[in-house]
C-alpha cells in the first residue's frame, strides 16, 4: 500500500511530500473553515469525494484558505468552494479531454491540471471517481 510521506514546515506547520519542499508559507486551516458560509451541498459533495479517495489508500488533507488540497506522495487534487459550484482540480500526467472539464492548465512538464465543476451530489459519479483514482495513482511514488 502507498504511503503518505511527510515533511512539516517549521514556519507554517503544513505537511508536504518532500523535505524542504518549496511552497507558499500560509497557515493551514480546517475543512470546516474552508466550507464556512458555503451551501451545505458543497460540504456533502466534499464528503462524497472523500469516501472514494479514502477507499483508495492513505491521503493527507491540507485545508488552506482557498480550499482543500488532497495529497498522497504528491498533490493529487484541489477542492475549492466557489460561488455556484465546487471546483475539483485533478492533477494528472495528461489532460482530460471530456466535455465536463471546464479548464485545463499545464502545471509542469509532467503534470496537467484538469478542472471539473461539481454542483450537486450526483455529479460525483463513476466518471469523476475514475478521474480521482487516476489522480491518486499518479500522485503515488
DSSP H helices, 27-125, are: 31-35, 40-56
The whole-angstrom separation of Cα 2 and Cα 42 is 28
Residue with the bigger pLDDT between 12 and 113: it is 113
The whole-angstrom separation of Cα 95 and Cα 105 is 8
Is 79 a domain residue?
A: yes
Give the model confidence (pLDDT) of 37-66 as tens digits: 999 999 999 999 999 999 999 998 888 878
Tell me if 5 sits within 8 A of 73, measured CB to CB: yes
The model's pTM is: 0.81
Dihedral in degrees, nearest 10, Cα atoms 95, 99, 102, 106: 10
pLDDT for 122 equals: 98
Is 8 a domain residue?
A: no
pLDDT for 13 equals: 60
Count the domains in the chain.
1
Give the model confidence (pLDDT) of 81-90 as tens digits: 999 999 999 9
- Host domain of residue 114: 27-138
CATH of the domain at 64: 3.90.1150
Is 115 a domain residue?
A: yes
pLDDT for 2 equals: 44
Query: Rg (Cα) of the chain, in Å, rounded?
Result: 14
Is 21 a domain residue?
A: no
Is 13 a domain residue?
A: no
Amino acid at each position: 500500500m502507498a504511503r503518505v510521506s511527510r515533511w512539516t514546515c517549521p514556519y507554517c506547520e503544513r505537511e508536504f511530500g518532500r523535505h524542504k519542499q518549496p511552497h507558499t508559507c500560509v497557515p493551514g486551516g480546517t475543512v470546516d473553515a474552508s466550507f464556512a458560509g458555503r451551501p451545505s451541498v458543497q460540504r456533502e459533495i466534499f464528503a462524497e469525494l472523500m469516501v472514494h479517495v479514502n477507499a483508495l489508500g492513505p491521503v493527507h488533507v491540507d485545508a488552506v484558505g482557498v480550499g482543500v488540497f488532497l495529497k498522497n506522495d504528491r498533490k493529487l487534487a484541489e477542492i475549492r468552494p466557489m460561488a455556484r459550484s465546487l471546483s475539483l482540480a485533478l492533477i494528472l500526467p495528461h489532460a482530460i479531454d471530456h466535455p465536463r472539464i471546464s479548464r485545463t492548465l499545464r502545471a509542469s512538464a509532467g503534470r496537467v491540471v484538469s478542472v471539473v465543476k461539481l454542483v450537486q451530489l450526483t455529479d460525483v459519479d463513476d466518471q469523476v471517481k475514475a478521474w480521482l483514482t487516476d489522480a491518486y495513482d499518479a500522485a503515488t511514488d
